[in-house]
């Protein structure tokens, strides 16, 4: 029988994010350094069996209800549908965050293996700008991946756009319109200080309030009630053309409702996206730890979870890992 997994403030954790790799087939400048990265040796990355075991412990001991596969880029991992098939045996909602560049061939196999839905990154609809942001001329492949996800039934489909002042903030309406047209929820994400180059500044953040004002002036919106622990505030188009989301991690932080933990590709448990400490689960897994000992390690780390990330405050401490290494 499961017991609640509670942090130090009594908040229940129900959502597990699992990073499958520390690498990506894009090099987004807010995610990975231009010169590339030194990849982990394969022996240091968790095996599918180890990932399945950690997920099973969290589900059966603590009642975790959602597992999301992230990266780097999760589809870079060889035979990822096999892992999906393993995790699909658990009583959870199983989803994936991906850049979408390989979904044209993987959407069907992932759905057949048991994946429920995907979230696809889409920071620009302009080919030249997309190539500049990702350092890959692959916008057509991503657009094909979006269509493949829809056709395979990986729904509801969500699209993530990280807005950066002076980079792509002039595409707010274009991106919102695209989401309406393809039947996906476009989610605008405020630029966070997890970029690989360390160039983040508050002046480059496009506030959620500005996004809502700009979109709402053309396509009137109303709030969707019942946000709960979701990171996105959701809004419904009054003309019935679907929904839009904003993730205001910087200007309207939602730390008090966060219900997730993260497992990095090499088996480090993080209680927060901005955590400055981690708990090594790989060492326990490979050292013969029992499921109960794994559960105790998870519970101890989550119980020490801090109140919030403090972005923009004098006491903010930037994590040593950037987004590609954590699993957003």
pLDDT: is 289 or 34 the higher one? 289
Q: Which CATH superfamily is domain 15-290+299-326 in?
A: Aldolase class I (3.20.20.70)
In whole angstroms, give the CA distance from residue 2 to residue 273: 25
State how far the Cα of 72 lies from the Cα of 322, in Å rounded to an integer: 10
Q: How many CB atoms lie within 10 A of CB 106?
A: 25
Quick one: pLDDT band at residue 318, thresholds 50, 70, 90?
low
**pLDDT score at 27:** 46
- Measure Cα distances from 88 to 55, 66, 93, 98, 328 in Å: 11, 11, 8, 18, 21
- pLDDT exceeds 70 at position 323: no
The predicted structure's pLDDT at residue 203: 85
**Look-up: residue for tokens 């448990």?**
269
pLDDT of residue 25: 60
* Model pLDDT for residues 232-288, shown as the tens digit of each residue: 999 999 999 999 999 998 888 777 788 889 999 999 999 887 777 899 999 999 999
For 285, residues 6+ apart whose C-beta sits below 8 A from its C-beta are 46, 50, 53, 54, 267, 294
């Amino acid at each position: 029988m499961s017991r609640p997994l509670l942090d130090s403030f009594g908040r229940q954790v129900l959502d597990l994010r699992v990073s499958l790799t520390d690498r990506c087939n894009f090099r987004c400048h807010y995610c990975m350094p231009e010169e590339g990265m030194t990849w982990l040796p394969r022996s240091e990355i968790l095996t599918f069996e180890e990932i399945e075991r950690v997920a099973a412990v969290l589900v059966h001991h603590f009642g975790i209800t959602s597992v999301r596969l992230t990266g780097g880029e999760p589809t870079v991992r060889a035979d990822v549908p096999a892992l999906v098939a393993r995790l699909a045996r658990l009583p959870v909602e199983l989803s994936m965050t991906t850049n979408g560049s390989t979904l044209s061939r993987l959407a069907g196999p992932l759905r057949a293996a048991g994946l429920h839905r995907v979230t696809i990154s889409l920071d620009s609809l302009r080919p030249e700008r997309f190539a500049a942001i990702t350092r890959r001329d692959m916008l057509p492949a991503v657009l094909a991946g979006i269509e493949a996800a829809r056709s395979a039934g990986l729904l509801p489909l969500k699209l993530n756009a990280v807005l950066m002042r002076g980079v792509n903030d002039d595409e707010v309406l274009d991106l919102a319109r695209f989401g309406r047209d393809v039947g996906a929820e476009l989610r605008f994400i405020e630029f966070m200080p997890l970029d690989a180059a360390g160039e983040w500044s508050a002046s480059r953040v496009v506030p959620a309030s500005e996004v809502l004002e700009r979109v709402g002036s053309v396509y009137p919106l109303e709030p969707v009630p019942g946000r709960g622990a979701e990171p996105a505030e959701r809004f419904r188009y009054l003309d019935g053309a679907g929904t839009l989301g904003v993730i205001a991690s910087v200007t309207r932080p939602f730390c008090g409702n966060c219900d997730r933990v993260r497992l990095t590709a090499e088996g480090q448990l993080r209680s927060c996206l901005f955590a400055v400490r981690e708990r090594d689960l790989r060492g326990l897994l490979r050292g013969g730890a029992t499921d109960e000992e794994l559960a105790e390690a998870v519970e101890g780390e989550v119980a020490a979870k801090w109140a919030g990330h403090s972005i923009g405050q004098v006491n903010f401490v930037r994590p040593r890992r950037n987004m590609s290494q954590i699993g957003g």
